[in-house]
Structure 1
């Protein structure tokens, strides 16, 4: 049987069983109610049993919850004791316990914003290791809110008040074409209407980039007929490299150096852009090592505001 929950889920369960309130439990844990609900739901799905009867006025433990409670408390207590013992036993091997900085980022920002900052971070006197989570915009918000990431770099932040969004720059949508394509030789910005009849590559419906494009074109009564619809910008770029079409993508998604395999043309009428920024928890402090990486990402991102 695969174990699909962690100690944070068990701790959330124990606090909720004690308080009997999602509001009080979430405040105690320092997470939003939605994050607490996801943890409890994950635990219930893994165990295959409902743990709480929820009404508008109360939260009551089920029989399954009562059976789980003592075992969960024992597991959490044993884990805490193990952590205390390990800290004592391995203090002399501190090099094995270097901090891990986790940053969640939408794929299109990794090459031009995150990686240059990580390079500077690694070149400095930093012992911390870096974990990069390549996620969609809503997944970046969830990873930061749930504490899976120290902070995020994204185009969108959750609107439930648990997160803050600090914008860096406007990332405009451009047309990426093969270098020998007729549109690659056009002078000036291309109008969206000029894409009619082209083998167009667009982001998938439901993605943040597609919603951005659709919202911008709606007042202009422009309807784009796509030939390829893909979930990832990397897939769109490979289709362009193969000469199969032209792609409307955020500029940050285009590789910094790509030889002669890609050409970029600006798009106008209307100009379409998204805000890229830092996502972090409203009530959570960023660890020192993570703060150092964040402070390197900030100027790297601001540099893009001047491009």
Structure 2
């Protein structure tokens, strides 16, 4: 585009002068002072290289050149108005709807409460509550959905956030090694060494799960037995452990009720770090997109006691 094209505000002001016959009336309609309007017209005339307005005591009228510029700019202003309306609709839609993908532990035990809290906050502020659409899957798949633009925001678990995505730490979780009440580990001191855990066939999550990744990293460098079972959800792993299939390492959130009721027993493991980070992930700028995505990440981090990386 050349250097002699006036900006949209100036073209809009010029068209209004032609319709109202008054620079002051046009200024009032656009919400600026007459002084600012006069300055804008002088700048526009300098760009065009010819007078656009004929001023008199009765008001202002378009010169022949001004009429020609208004005629040429009509379609430009109509297209700009259509673009502005479309962008406004897009902003409104992004506030009204938010698609979120979360790893299974977060989706089952944390995210529902976060969503309810954010919607309550919105109601208190007089903002229409966002319609959240949630997808529960493993951390690897969450990252893929976010990277592809299929969802607006993701929450993953694991030692490190996925590469190639913007991220913010929202909390720290810890895996707990659990066994059935009649398992030998539950009958003794309820404490084992990491070497013993590694040598025992465990009930594990599928490859791509954040829980599986944390466990494998914690046991790296040790001789590891083949899994007793490989299952695709924490609920299935818990049921298998209760049925006597073997020990498992699961999120403290996933087994809290089972430990309290005695359906499962926690076993301490010396020489092993089973903590993991929970991250929000998104594409684009360094902060979550403004609106419900940012509100949700802020609430999650506040709830989990984290302020970021």
Task: Bin the TM-score by the shorter chain.
Answer: 0.5 to 0.7
Structure 1 residues 130 and 264, CA gap change in structure 2 (3 angstroms): farther
Work out whether 1:100 is the aligned partner of 2:97.
Answer: yes
Work out whether 1:136 is the aligned partner of 2:138.
Answer: yes
**Which of 278, 281, 284 is 1:279 aligned to?**
281
Distance in 1 separating the partners of 2:169 and 2:244: 35
SS of structure 2 residue aligned to 1:279 = strand
**Which of 263, 266, 277 is 2:265 aligned to?**
263
SS of structure 2 residue aligned to 1:104 = strand
Show the counterpart of 2:112: 115
Show the counterpart of 1:181: 183
Show the counterpart of 2:297: 294
Structure 1 residues 264 and 109, CA gap change in structure 2 (3 angstroms): farther
Distance in 1 separating the partners of 2:173 and 2:242: 22
SS of structure 1 residue aligned to 2:223 = coil
Distance in 1 separating the partners of 2:233 and 2:275: 18
**Which of 143, 158, 168 is 2:162 aligned to?**
158
Distance in 2 separating the partners of 1:198 and 1:153: 31
Show the counterpart of 1:167: 169
Structure 1 residues 97 and 195, CA gap change in structure 2 (3 angstroms): closer
SS of structure 1 residue aligned to 2:150 = coil
Asked if structure 2 preserves the Cα contact closer than 8 Å seen for 1:106 and 1:154, the reply is: yes
Distance in 1 separating the partners of 2:109 and 2:264: 16
Distance in 1 separating the partners of 2:146 and 2:155: 10
Distance in 2 separating the partners of 1:97 and 1:174: 38
User: What is the CA distance between 1:106 and its match in structure 2?
Assistant: 0.5
User: What is the CA distance between 1:197 and its match in structure 2?
Assistant: 7.6
Asked if structure 1 preserves the Cα contact closer than 8 Å seen for 2:177 and 2:250, the reply is: yes
User: What is the CA distance between 1:208 and its match in structure 2?
Assistant: 4.1
Q: Mark the runs of 5 or more structure 1 residues left unpaired by the alignment.
A: 1-79, 88-93
Show the counterpart of 1:30: none
Structure 1 residues 168 and 142, CA gap change in structure 2 (3 angstroms): same
With normalisation by structure 2, the TM-score equals: 0.57
Work out which of the two has the higher radius of gyration on C-alpha atoms and give 1 or 2.
2
User: What is the CA distance between 1:285 and its match in structure 2?
Assistant: 5.3
Structure 1 residues 110 and 302, CA gap change in structure 2 (3 angstroms): farther
Distance in 1 separating the partners of 2:269 and 2:196: 10
Asked if structure 1 preserves the Cα contact closer than 8 Å seen for 2:169 and 2:301, the reply is: no
Give CA-to-partner distance per residue, 1:225-275, whole Å, 9 cap, x none: 4221223323211212333322122334x1442433223233332223322
With normalisation by structure 1, the TM-score equals: 0.57
Asked if structure 1 preserves the Cα contact closer than 8 Å seen for 2:200 and 2:224, the reply is: no
Distance in 1 separating the partners of 2:95 and 2:214: 40
Q: Please report the RMSD computed on the Cα atoms of aligned residues, expressed in angstroms.
A: 3.4
Q: Mark the runs of 5 or more structure 2 residues left unpaired by the alignment.
A: 1-81
SS of structure 1 residue aligned to 2:177 = strand
User: What is the CA distance between 1:195 and its match in structure 2?
Assistant: 3.7
